[in-house]
């Protein structure tokens, strides 16, 4: 399948523009894709409708306010040695240019509901211990719920527990928590960060929420030094360094599929 942008422009000086690949959208995913294509010898054009690149990693300031606000970057998982983020960046020689600051291992996220303040820690075992400490009367249900999520997310002992994914993986996370008899408060704590992926809990597969938790619990949460904007900036630099082009305020009106 071939994707093309609107017909390329031409000038008397440069002639018609031709591209091996056109990437629609300059968010972190699109820019990473474009950077790898460019680094592997492809002539790449990136088209972004917004006036700045970065997607959910961009930042902004309000008029008269000295503070900078992240649009979507608050913390990221798997940024340590061997983590998925470091692996992706290493292929583009960006591991020394994008630095990740480790957030508090004892609690990268603070969840507050009436009567309870919960610090989300690093590690599934510590996570379960804190849930039980916060809701001691629900220990059995919490152990069952966390065991299922951990098994699905981490793939632990799949031969002994193949039922976890088959029975619960695609069912809503709220169905699992109800089956475990968890209270509304316990459910609220477990689901508190689900706004990161924007789906309502009753539509969120257990596998999705479990994988989301695992992303942070396995090795902690990180924040990019300098804010989320550095991610888009350095990826754009890679694209341009290899002869590619990133255009902003370039809305795509049509994608033509041929052959």
Full-model pTM: 0.80
Dist CA 68 CA 227 (whole Å): 9
Dist CA 246 CA 108 (whole Å): 34
Dist CA 161 CA 176 (whole Å): 16
Dist CA 26 CA 32 (whole Å): 9
Domains assigned to the chain: 10-102+227-247 (3.50.50.60), 109-219 (no CATH)
The one-character DSSP state at 112 is: E
Nearest Cα residue to 128 out of 185, 72, 201, 189: 189
The one-character DSSP state at 194 is: G
Q: Quick one: tokens of 3?
A: 């994707």
Q: Quick one: tokens of 93?
A: 């020689």
- Reported as half-sphere exposure (CB side, CA atoms, 13 A), residue 28 has a value of 14
Per-residue pLDDT of the chain (259 residues; tens, 9 = 90+): 334 344 444 344 454 689 999 999 999 999 999 999 999 999 999 999 999 999 999 998 888 888 889 988 888 999 988 888 999 999 999 999 999 999 999 999 999 999 999 999 999 999 999 999 999 999 999 999 999 999 999 775 555 555 667 789 999 999 999 999 999 999 999 999 887 777 899 999 999 999 999 999 999 999 999 999 999 999 999 999 999 999 999 999 999 888 8
CB neighbours of residue 247 within 10 Å? 13
Nearest Cα residue to 148 out of 133, 170, 126, 129: 170
Dist CA 117 CA 165 (whole Å): 31
Dist CA 173 CA 208 (whole Å): 9
């Amino acid at each position: 399948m071939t994707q093309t942008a609107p017909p390329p422009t031409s000038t008397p000086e440069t002639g018609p523009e031709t591209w091996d690949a056109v990437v629609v959208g300059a968010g972190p995913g699109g820019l990473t894709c474009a950077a790898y294509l460019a680094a592997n010898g492809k002539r790449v054009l990136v088209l972004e409708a917004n006036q700045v690149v970065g997607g959910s990693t961009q930042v902004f300031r309000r008029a008269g306010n000295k503070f900078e606000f992240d649009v979507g970057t608050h913390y990221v998982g798997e940024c340590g040695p061997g983590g998925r983020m470091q692996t992706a960046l290493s292929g583009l020689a960006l591991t020394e240019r994008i630095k990740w600051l480790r957030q508090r291992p004892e609690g990268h996220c603070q969840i507050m509901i009436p009567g309870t303040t919960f610090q989300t820690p690093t590690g599934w075992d510590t996570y379960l211990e804190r849930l039980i400490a916060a809701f001691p009367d629900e220990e059995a249900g919490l152990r069952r719920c966390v065991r299922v999520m951990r098994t699905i997310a981490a793939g632990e002992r799949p031969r002994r527990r193949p039922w976890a994914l088959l029975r619960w993986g695609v069912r809503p996370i709220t169905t699992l928590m109800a089956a475990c008899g968890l209270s509304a408060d316990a459910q609220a704590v477990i689901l508190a960060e689900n706004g990161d992926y924007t789906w309502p809990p009753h539509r969120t597969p257990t596998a999705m929420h479990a994988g989301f938790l695992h992303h942070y619990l396995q090795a902690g949460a990180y924040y990019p030094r300098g804010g989320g904007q550095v991610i888009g900036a350095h990826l754009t630099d890679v694209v341009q360094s290899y002869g590619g082009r990133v255009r902003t305020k370039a809305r795509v009106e049509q994608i033509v599929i041929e052959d």
